[in-house]
Amino acid sequence: MEPVNQIKNERKKIRINWRIVSIYPLVLASIVLFGLFIYPTMYKYDKLDQKYPVMINRLTGEAKILTQDGWQNTPDIDSAIGKMEQYKGEISMEIDKQKEQITQNVMASVERQLDEIKNQSASVNQSPSESEFAGVRNRDRGTFSKGDSMDTVEKIMGTANTVNYAGPFERWFYGNSSVSFKDGKVNGWNNSDGNLSLK
């Protein structure tokens, strides 16, 4: 009986070994297929003269070059490179045109701003007409001092060129000279131009 059991056990081992051995070719074939078709892909990518992208089929060796019309076969490479160079030239020309246009726009804007500044400074520095001077000369101006009202200063000095407000303070400018008010009363001045009529 023992030899019969021993033979059965041997047959079982052999059957199991054949199953394991039959799996190895499948695993090996899977690895080869994976290496060919999935990793690192069917195509290899490179650059021609470090300018043009090239796609090379790993199985057939067929090479294609990327142009503006898409991937081109290598026999058509001369015309494709010519088209690509023409396309690059057109792009460069367009970029140069845009640069020139941007420069012109910026220069025109700067010139407009300079003209506005010149016009503003000319209007500020513009001397009053002779009739305005005559009216000022012919009136008895009088003088003012600290504590006088805004109305008094306006009667004596006339309308201010510019007025600045800061809370309860107000400053009237007559050229470079100025009169400071607090709560409607004179509280100081700066007579830089010597044109204020002070007591």
SS (H, E, C) 88-153: HHHHHHHHHHHHHHHHHHHHHHHHHHHHHHHHHHHHHHCCCCHHHHHHHHCCCCCCECCCCEHHHH
Domain assignment present for 123 = no
**Residue span of the structural domain in which 32 resides:** 1-39
Q: What is the pLDDT along the chain (199 residues), one digit of tens a residue?
A: 567 777 777 776 666 666 666 777 888 888 888 776 666 666 777 776 667 788 888 778 788 878 777 777 766 556 666 777 788 888 888 888 888 888 888 888 888 888 888 777 766 655 554 445 444 443 456 889 999 999 999 988 888 998 988 878 899 999 889 999 998 899 999 998 888 888 7
Query: Taken in order 92, 94, 97, 103, is the CA torsion positive or negative?
Result: negative
Domain assignment present for 19 = yes
CA geometry: angle at 64 spanning 91 and 69, to 5°?
A: 35
Domain assignment present for 159 = yes
Find the helix or strand (DSSP H, E) in which 14 lies: helix 2-33
The total domain count for the chain is 3
Specify whether 24 is located in the same domain as 46.
no
* CA–CA separation, 88 and 94 (whole Å): 10
Specify whether 35 is located in the same domain as 60.
no
Residue 180 CB partners (closer than 8 Å, separation 6+): 169, 170, 171, 186, 187, 188, 189, 190
* CA–CA separation, 136 and 168 (whole Å): 30
Specify whether 154 is located in the same domain as 167.
yes
Beta-bridge partner residues of 179 = 172, 189
State pTM to two decimals: 0.32
Specify whether 50 is located in the same domain as 65.
yes
